[in-house]
A and B are shown apart, each in its own frame.
Chain A
């Protein structure tokens, strides 16, 4: 099996401008978030990429794609009917082939020599099944992620057979249903925003979309149906993800990229200078306390 296609979703309401944000990469060059994501995808050997966008966003995205425009195809999601619906819009694009899926509001930074997407695609190709990237997530972050429960695949590091998937579980439910052995207590395997999915996932999505009781189903809802239908693995990548859609998300993502690149010292110096010249109230209290003693 070879994975040559990728789907990036960027149609969520209020989040459609996130991939258009500009950041500086490890080498010091100016890039859009979309370029970062597309480069991550291409590094995994992907040849064709489909970006699901809101109606009317195509031009802005084309501009933001830069030199990679040739690899991209844009598909619109006419109405904001949820994450699963957005993925389903790419059904015609994937044409029954497995595909890599990334979300448009996350940036990824590998902590080893192999980019995150490539790590994931390698596992999927080896096991010939759907694989979702996961990372150990503290329970305080449960309201933000889909969480899986799984059993460790013998002889493979960081690889799990998925038994259950629940979107944004409460800690109560997570503790009862989603504990994965081998993690620190209070930690769960949360989706990383990156998946390699077999084409059958579209059937699961379609089933959900035709169910009138489910309002705006998510990809996790579809993922939850998969363990009973086919082999479905989770892989703990060596890397970090940065959600640029949350408060200070873009800033933190930029810092993480900058600190792993050639301008690390310059960024650190600037940060120290900021701290030294704009002391916080807590720091002042601490200094006063020390002087008083």
Chain B
């Protein structure tokens, strides 16, 4: 039998836990292909889900990491577009068949291997997601909700206690649930991912504590941060309100409950569905919500549901949203008798039921959490473990473990009151301010787990051992030992499994704690998917209060220092916390106690005041009367009154100030209002737009011929290398690194400076892109001699941070000439047109999401179109921080900027021997001053030599094409249709060798003209007019509230460097280089494969770090 299949199916853990790498490392290409053939047959026939999934991950890894290593350098081939279309539409099996057909007919190549890896990867995750979804539906107690198809069949009835109105005040009773959040004690090495727990239940273990919170300096005593409320109202609607998000909505149609992204109340809607009030089986039902409420509550009556999380910031890594969902589900299930107790704590079976429904709710809302996340529902400290599926479980025969874990609440003999107290006395819980998407990390963990790579598997084994030690530490109440263990866990196994679990911010904080408190700093405690948000620091109790204050200040200081490089969503805060020993808890508030939280009234009052009192529903009128009485009594009444008054009286509008500063910043950055108005007019009239970006379909576009390119992958003759070395030695080359962009994909529009992002540890610490490029430069000059000036081009957003970082770090230890070329062009973003939004979302090929996520995305897109319509199409986008409203105008401008801002003149005067520039993107880490390639450029005599690479599946966005018989680079935006790109063998890496004097000639300039600013300006404008202007839509984040973020698509325009190849007078040549040289790191999800395929190591070998 195939060894790999043996590994998958073996019952012997020594065989089953072998790593794929160990088996494939020395395999030949033929052996690898034989493995893949057998694995593919195996996964097609194998009924066992987890065997199938592991086979799929093996296939992905072989095609992504092992096959490419064995291919000849020039083995390139085209990825068939119809296979790609299958992928976009989630027809993964068909896509795999298509790619395999091509591989069988033309032989293996890098492009097809990447396509197969991508398809197997997606099929594997889809299979896992389908299984979790099936398991969620199969949990007993959930199934009925999928069978109810009509409101008349609704089997739930509201508890009679909630229908008894108070005789004196007329108030409806309010059921209030108070719920803690959960804190992961041990960090579970992400073993709470459902897939892991279901495949490896014995390895899925977490110590998890329920905690009450207070933000230090803002709130009083810690209390359960989550409060949810439900009551009957006298209108046949469901009213949902989130006081933290300042959002409220009245739902009148059943279908609207399933429209998750229409407003900020998606989580409340998911709870309404998952609690069975509006069962998921009713999706698509066209009835009014009143028909349903008629059955459940009574004729003419409705329900009001309110949530409050006491402004706990998002990204706290304390599973606030899952526990909020659990709290809402619990209160609604109590109200409908699905939970037997109306008041008080829950019983174990009810807690399990709530947790199962919370999983369902998360799936409905298109989000996902771990199985420990609803831990706040349980009391105290508990050990949560995966459970083996046994006969009678729906999972039996499908997966080794159950979907739902087992919770064991630690008793006094396992975690004494003294231990709990010392934990409270030692641990400083904080939110570091970073709120990042941990989705990619969870995918990486799953993949690593299934592949069992030696280092990661050892890490997991160590983490399991640490958990045992932690249990012992808790038993003995030894906080110092606990601190040591959690630190060991963080610095050892966690970072072995996922190096990106930490970042420079977190590392710096730990360093400072060690420096400041030495032995009195007992350890670091990582929470959740990655560090930077919620974290814990353990101190000697004697200094804890002082350390709390000190840490609060330090975190803000470091955040200020790093906020341009790392995506912070808010200022860091320190919490006070207390272990919650009762779990989620409910009380029925009646009579004069039946009030919603004050902020609820502050939110609704302005709207109510606009309605004449006589027109208000009776219940509302009575409630306002009671509220008025409350305001007149006691100190609590006074604070309520103050809050209410604040809600109805006008405030100073601060947006004026930010608008002013936007105008200032625009004018400082050289904003051209005239050009902006012209673009707006063109955009409105339809002269420019996404569809107009495309080259006319009458243009002939085809793949280049072999003599249109110089293939440098097969080797470079020594004479070219010698020529290049001589040029370097003579000081003829400078490097220009494009660093004006903010990396929209890198931080999903967070607007930080990508160039400064310390993305990976090299030579012992996290290094930014800038540091890596400078280290390569240093390596080259040390090897060949000479001086290579290095330029980073910047824009309004990146200029100051980059200059500051360079200055503060003392040029990152780089002793050569280092320059910053300040951008001289800026644009103002606009609200997109509906036409462009439709074009992007409906006309262009794009990846469909998993069914439920796609529904959420469709709902969000409908909401965004409404936003564009109401904000005014093509109007200025100003409702955000100034830096998020402005945009760099495309990398074409970055070279002319060097002419306009005098930097090129300065370079030439400081080093008159300069003749060539190497221009590359900030994220092209493999770009170096390679003497062989430089030699080819010099010998070829072209003005511009562009480096292209063989196309892989993920390389989208243009390529080298033969356009009407002439080879040139075509941007993805300009392709006449989506299929064209797939007919092009080479992808543009953007790395360009420039002959300075030839470039100047293109502008109609000489070296001497560079001192004449007017002449330079005219020359730049003239050339700019000859290049196309592209309209693009970019995602920008708008931050608000407590680390909340909204993402808006906004329109901007760009001119792109590759269009230089379209100018007939510019002589261009094209070099085909190794993929790794041109590979770009566009998103953080690429980091893991980049590390695993050896790219990181290769980059490290090119660098000499200071």
Name A residues whose Cβ lies closer than 8 Å to a Cβ of B: 138-143, 170-176, 179, 185-186
User: Do the beta carbons of A176 and B140 come within 8 Å of each other?
Assistant: yes
Q: Which of B152, B155, B349, B353 meets A171, CB within 8 Å?
A: B155
Chain A residues, CB < 8 A from B156: 143, 170-171
| Interface bits B143-164 vs A (CB < 8 Å: 1, else 0) | 1110110001111110000000
Name B residues whose Cβ lies closer than 8 Å to a Cβ of A: 140-145, 147-148, 152-157, 276, 333, 336-338, 349, 353
Q: Which of B141, B145, B154 meets A176, CB within 8 Å?
A: B141
Closest to B143 in A: A175
User: Do the beta carbons of A141 and B155 come within 8 Å of each other?
Assistant: yes
Contacts A170-B155, A172-B276, A175-B141; A186 near B147 (Cβ below 8 A): yes
Q: How far is the CA of A171 from the CA of B155 in the complex (A)?
A: 7
Chain A residues, CB < 8 A from B353: 172, 176
User: Do the beta carbons of A172 and B144 come within 8 Å of each other?
Assistant: yes
Contacts A143-B155, A143-B157; A170 near B143 (Cβ below 8 A): no
Closest to A140 in B: B153
User: Do the beta carbons of B155 and A139 come within 8 Å of each other?
Assistant: yes
How many residue pairs link A and B with beta carbons under 8 A? The number is: 50
B724 → A minimal CB distance (Å): 74
User: Do the beta carbons of A186 and B144 come within 8 Å of each other?
Assistant: yes
Closest to B157 in A: A143
A-B contact pairs, 18 of them (CB 8 A): A138-B153, A139-B144, A139-B148, A140-B153, A170-B156, A170-B336, A171-B144, A171-B155, A172-B142, A172-B144, A172-B333, A172-B353, A175-B140, A176-B140, A179-B140, A185-B147, A186-B144, A186-B147
Identify 12 new A-B residue pairs, CB closer than 8 A, beyond the known A139-B155, A172-B144: A138-B153, A139-B144, A139-B148, A140-B154, A140-B155, A143-B157, A171-B145, A171-B156, A176-B353, A179-B140, A186-B144, A186-B147
B335 → A minimal CB distance (Å): 11
Q: How far is the CA of A36 from the CA of B171 in the complex (A)?
A: 47
A contact patch SS:
helix
Closest to A138 in B: B153
Q: How far is the CA of A240 from the CA of B325 in the complex (A)?
A: 43
Q: Which of B152, B153, B154, B338 meets A173, CB within 8 Å?
A: B338
Q: How far is the CA of A175 from the CA of B338 in the complex (A)?
A: 11
User: Do the beta carbons of A142 and B338 come within 8 Å of each other?
Assistant: no
Q: How far is the CA of A173 from the CA of B333 in the complex (A)?
A: 11
Chain A residues, CB < 8 A from B157: 143
B135 → A minimal CB distance (Å): 15
Q: How far is the CA of A175 from the CA of B349 in the complex (A)?
A: 13
Q: How far is the CA of A171 from the CA of B144 in the complex (A)?
A: 7
Chain B residues, CB < 8 A from A170: 155-156, 336-338
Q: How far is the CA of A138 from the CA of B147 in the complex (A)?
A: 11
Interface centre among A138, A140, A173, by most chain B C-beta atoms within 10 angstroms, is A140
Interface centre among A142, A173, A179, by most chain B C-beta atoms within 10 angstroms, is A173
User: Do the beta carbons of B148 and A140 come within 8 Å of each other?
Assistant: yes
B835 → A minimal CB distance (Å): 36
Chain A residues, CB < 8 A from B154: 140
A163 → B minimal CB distance (Å): 15
A166 → B minimal CB distance (Å): 10
B971 → A minimal CB distance (Å): 52
B649 → A minimal CB distance (Å): 47
Chain B residues, CB < 8 A from A185: 143, 147
Chain A residues, CB < 8 A from B337: 170
Contacts A139-B155, A141-B155; A172 near B148 (Cβ below 8 A): no
Interface centre among A143, A171, A179, by most chain B C-beta atoms within 10 angstroms, is A171
Q: How far is the CA of A170 from the CA of B336 in the complex (A)?
A: 8
Chain B residues, CB < 8 A from A174: 144
A274 → B minimal CB distance (Å): 23
A66 → B minimal CB distance (Å): 38
Chain B residues, CB < 8 A from A140: 148, 152-155
Q: How far is the CA of A174 from the CA of B353 in the complex (A)?
A: 13
A185 → B minimal CB distance (Å): 7
B147 → A minimal CB distance (Å): 5
Q: Which of B142, B155, B276 meets A142, CB within 8 Å?
A: B155
Q: How far is the CA of A24 from the CA of B130 in the complex (A)?
A: 57
Q: How far is the CA of A142 from the CA of B148 in the complex (A)?
A: 13
Chain B residues, CB < 8 A from A138: 153
User: Do the beta carbons of B141 and A172 come within 8 Å of each other?
Assistant: yes
Chain A residues, CB < 8 A from B276: 171-172
Closest to B340 in A: A173
CB-CB nearest 9 A-B residue pairs? A140-B153, A171-B144, A172-B338, A170-B338, A172-B141, A171-B155, A176-B141, A176-B140, A142-B155
Chain A residues, CB < 8 A from B142: 172, 175
Q: How far is the CA of A50 from the CA of B203 in the complex (A)?
A: 65
User: Do the beta carbons of A139 and B147 come within 8 Å of each other?
Assistant: yes
Q: How far is the CA of A172 from the CA of B143 in the complex (A)?
A: 8
Q: How far is the CA of A139 from the CA of B149 in the complex (A)?
A: 12
User: Do the beta carbons of B144 and A175 come within 8 Å of each other?
Assistant: yes
Chain B residues, CB < 8 A from A142: 155
A218 → B minimal CB distance (Å): 15
Chain A residues, CB < 8 A from B336: 170
Q: How far is the CA of A279 from the CA of B419 in the complex (A)?
A: 76
Chain A residues, CB < 8 A from B152: 140
